[in-house]
Amino acid sequence: MTSGTDKALASKYQTNLSSNKHFKQARKASEQFIVLHYAGPVEYDPMGFVEKNADPVDLNVAKVLS
């Protein structure tokens, strides 16, 4: 995901998971959301998700694959 943003990710979660009984929109900020885990609700702020989870392909691997 090279062109994605945190806000776009949050928007996709809201769009695709709004009917899921384990997903809720947080009231604090439009990007934040709540996952209803077995142990209770956990609030998440996806700001920084994309950067933290970027997994660049090693250049040697890219050369071999091309």
Split at pLDDT 50, 70, 90, the class of 2 is low
Write the DSSP assignment of 20-51 as a string of letters.
Answer: -TTEEE-SS-SS-EEEEETTEEEEE--TTHHH
Give CATH for domain 6-65: 1.20.58.530
Measured between alpha carbons, how far is 26 from 30 in angstroms, rounded to an integer? 7
pLDDT at 31: 83
Residue type (1 letter), 10: A
**pTM of the complete model:** 0.65
pLDDT at 51: 82
The tens digit of pLDDT for each residue in 12-64 reads 888 999 899 999 988 877 788 999 999 999 999 888 888 888 777 788 988 89
- Domain ranges, ordered by start, for the chain: 6-65
Residue type (1 letter), 35: V
pLDDT at 40: 94
How is residue 57 annotated by DSSP? Answer: P
